[in-house]
């Protein structure tokens, strides 16, 4: 299985800050990297696929980058609704699909 490792596991920031979350794959996955946002009691929400393509309706303050094994999700000018847990997922192979353990973004 491809292991996905996210850092940090939690992060505190102020509204208006910019933050960068990191995801690393245990082997190269090209740009087959997906980011989700999840709020308590809700299903994950797709933000970015293909490492950098914003899903329809996702605000442009979210951006993704990276390739190979190292990826980042940047959120500029944090809004109150952005405080949530973020997960990365590799879509390189479905044998099996694997997720990171999440980064919890909390308001400071």
Partner 1 sequence: QVQLQESGPGLVKPSETLSLTCAVSGGSITEYYWSWIRQSPGRGLEWIGYIYYSYSEYTNYNPSLKSRVAMSIDTSKGQFSLKLTSVTAADTAVYFCARAFSPYTSGFYPYWGQGILVTVSS
Pairing of strands 33-38, 19-25: unpaired
For residue 49, state whether it binds partner 1 (rule: CB under 8 A). yes
Binder of partner 1 out of 2, 19, 30, 32 (CB under 8 A): 32
CA distance 46 to 54: 9
Contact between 16 and partner 1 per CB under 8 A:
no
Indicate the DSSP class of residue 50. T
Identify which of residues 17 and 67 has a Cβ nearer to partner 1 in the complex: 67
Applying CB under 8 A, the span of 12-20, 64-72, 74-82, 83-91 interacting with partner 1 comes to 83-91
Alpha helices in 23-71 (DSSP H): none
Distance CA 52, CA 16 (A): 22
Site residues for partner 1 per CB under 8 A? 1, 32, 34, 42-46, 49, 55, 87, 89-102
């Amino acid at each position: 299985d491809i292991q996905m490792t996210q850092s940090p596991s939690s992060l505190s920031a102020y509204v208006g800050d910019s933050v960068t979350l990191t995801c690393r794959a245990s082997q190269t996955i090209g740009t087959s990297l997906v980011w989700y946002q999840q709020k308590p009691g809700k299903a994950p929400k797709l933000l970015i696929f293909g490492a950098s393509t914003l899903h329809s309706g996702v605000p442009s303050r979210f951006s993704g980058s990276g390739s190979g094994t190292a990826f980042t999700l940047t959120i500029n000018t944090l809004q109150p609704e952005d405080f949530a847990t973020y997960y990365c997922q590799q879509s390189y192979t479905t044998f099996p699909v694997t997720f990171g353990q999440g980064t919890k973004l909390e308001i400071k």
